Copies of this chain bind each other. A is one copy, B any other.
Amino acid sequence: MSTIDTLQKLLFDLAGVLPADTEPLFAMTTPVSLETNEAYIREGESSRRLAFIESGVIRAYTIKENGDEATLLLRWEGQFIASHDTIINRQPSRFIYRALEPVKLLQIDYGVLEEILKTHPEYEPLRNFFLMKMLAESLKMLESFVTQSPEERYRELLSERFDLVNRVPDKYIASMLGITPVSLSRIRKRMYTKSKQ
């Protein structure tokens, strides 16, 4: 099933919009391809991009004061990704979005989407769905930070997203868990030696 098919089905399920009636929306979308390690959104960039990932993994990260990188989140095929600083806070992005693998996505400018929604309110549930999804995921991660130790967070990530952990370098996983790569390596060792007993 193509990306547009997927999104048309989503729009039908959410709002009963027939695929034939989605032309005004998809006419304004652009397919984008990214190579491995290519930046999708750069620091300081002001474009407001919302995209649906068809394939590949994107990492959103920021540069800390000391120069280190901190990974905020990872997004992969079947998910939406958005330059949240520009869309929500209307400020130049402090985050960099970069492809970890070859990525294909379907993109729309958020400002254009807002214009379309003014004349086509029937698409509104789609925006709502996207915001709810992002919020649910953010809250879930936040919950894991206040309820779990780094080791518990890693174990949960392994059990829920084993495929993802195997596709993404450990150092990015570590930083998303809020720890250093050295610590993650020690956690892995602890887990391995414990399970062997």
Contact = CB atoms under 8 A, between A and B. Distances in A.
Given A121-B121, A121-B124, A124-B121, A135 B143 contact: no
Given A121-B124, A128-B127, A146 B134 contact: no
A105 interface: no
- Stoichiometry, as copies per complex, reads 2
Interface stretch (A1-9, A30-38, A64-72, A157-165): A64-72
A139 B84 contact: yes
A54 B132 CA distance: 25
Contacts of A143: 62, 70, 72
Contact of A147 (B62, B84, B124, B138): B62
**A73, A139, A175: residue with the most chain B Cβ atoms closer than 10 Å:** A139
Interface string A79-91: 0000010001100
A105 B20 CA distance: 44
A51 interface: no
Nearest to A94: B143
B131 A142 contact: no
B178 A132 contact: no
Contacts of A141: 142
Nearest to A85: B139
Contact of A142 (B124, B128, B132, B138): B138
Given A131-B135, A145-B145, A145-B178, 6 more contacts: A71-B146, A84-B135, A84-B136, A121-B121, A134-B135, A141-B142
